[in-house]
Each structure stands twice: as C-alpha cells, then as structure tokens.
Amino acid sequence: MHINGSTTIVGVFGAPITHTASPAMHNAAFGALDMNWVYLAFHVEAANLRTALRGASHMGLVGINLTIPHKILALDGIDEIEPEARKLGAVNTVSMEKGKLRGYNTDGYGFIKAVKEDFNLSIKGKRVLVLGAGGAGHGIAVKCALDGAAKVIVANRTLARIEPIAREISGTKTEFLALKLAAEDIRKVIHEVDLVVNATSVGLEEQDSLGLGADLFSPRLHVYDTIYRPAETELLRVAESAGAKVANGLSMLLHQGAKSFEIWTKRKAPLAVMRRALRAAIYGEKP
C-alpha cells in the first residue's frame, strides 16, 4: 500500500473500534484491484458522531461504515437515507456525495447473502426466529419480512423493544409474533421455524449463555449466529450437537462489507480476496 496525496480515504466509526476486521478486508480488496484507496478505523464517541461525519465529508472522505453505537443514532444525522435503511431502523454505511451524507443499510443484504451461501436457504416462505431486538435484530427481522418470510418471531428480554419491529413488519404480508427471550417461551415456537438467528451479543464471551439446551434443536433447523469471534459460540455448539446446521457471522460481515465497497467505488467487490483477508485477521489463517 502506497499512500500519497491522491489516496482516497474511507473508514469505519465506532466506540470501541480496536476489534474491527473491516480494514483488513477492504484494504486487501483495494490492493487486489490496484486502487489508490485506504480504509481506516476511527474511534468516535456517540456524542461526536454528527460532527465527525460532517468533518469527514469536509476532509474529502468518500465513505464511512458505522458500527456500535452509531447505527441507530445515524438516522437523525444523515441528509438522505435510503428507504430500506429507514425501514430496517439503522444505517451502517454512509457515502459522501456532492457534499451530502447518504445513508444505507448493507447489513440486511449481508444477512440474506450469508444465509443463502451458508445454508443454500432462501428466506422467501420461511419461518424465522430472531433472538434480540437491538439494531441487528431489528434489521434482520424486517429484512426477512421484506424478502417474503412467511413468519417472523422476535424474542427479546424486554418486550417493549420489539414494538418498532412489529410496526415495520405490519405493513408486509409476513405473520409476526413477539415473545420473551426465555427457554420456556422459545420451546413453544421453535418446532415451527426453519431458521434461528442470534442477533444478541450473548456469545461474545466464552461463559455467555442464552440458556437454550440441545433438546430445543433438531436436524431440520438452521441456526445462524451473527457473532463471528469466537468462531463457535455456545449456541452454535449446542445446536450442532443436536444435529442442526450452523454458521457464524463471518459471511454476513463479508457480504455487508462487499456491498459497502460497491456503493463507494462503483466496482465489483473481490469476494474471495476479502474473505481470505477476514479469515486471516480474525482466525489467524494464512491469506
């Protein structure tokens, strides 16, 4: 990588941000396509998001990804928000175009691509159980409805947090159900779903547990965990022991990043290069 006065800058805002694997993925892509671009990580506190985005635009950056805690906050600080991002309730990609900030959500796209890639599963007509109603859960649940899921169930410890999701899905043909995130409630519905998605942060630490036993799972189930580090969470370990098909969030990270890349550069993302770079950065595999 050779940075000079003509280098185009993109990056990611978050707090914390030291864990991000996105620079490795994007910089590998720029290198593979011989582009004079660089992707950097910036620690930006929530209170400074709007100022930082405006500053980035004034400094000539052309794109920013947003991660925790900015995805929902950005809805109030962007000039133009793509309709799907508004429906999904979060912005994770911002492009700077002619002095204006335009917000997108590539997480929903990344999730749909990941499920197709990992399970060869189309969401259309499927019944999906989403664990968690935060930014990730909101986006995934609504995206499933927009893509024709027959039923979406959202389980969360606080039922009130599910209400905004219910409002968005009410305008679709998808059946919707809200329930408490507890083993006894999950047991009542899990037999009727095709796909279970963990969109909570439970699993980031080795001792984390959702409290769901192997008896809840079966070989007919697909279980996707949006967490990618560690590679195998307790949920995936338990589900796999019961014969369920499992996958972690690396593929979602890859595909949402590839979509962001294409929004900014107007070029096709080199997926194989980006995947190798991610696996090297996260799991220490040789690229």
Tell me the CA distances in angstroms from 38 to 61, 183, 273, one per residue in order. Answer: 10, 45, 16
3-state DSSP assignment of residue 201 = coil
Spot the catalytic one: 71, 87, 113, 143.
71
Active site residue 151: no
The rounded distance, in Å, linking the Cα atoms of 270 and 275 is 9
The rounded distance, in Å, linking the Cα atoms of 59 and 67 is 21
Print burial letters for 72-101: b (CB count within 10 Å at least 16), e (below 16): bbbeebbeebbebbebbbbbbbbbbeeeeb
The rounded distance, in Å, linking the Cα atoms of 275 and 150 is 31
Residue 111's H or E segment, with its range, is: helix 107-119
| Residue 3 contacts residue 33 (beta carbons within 8 Å) | no
Catalytic residues: 71
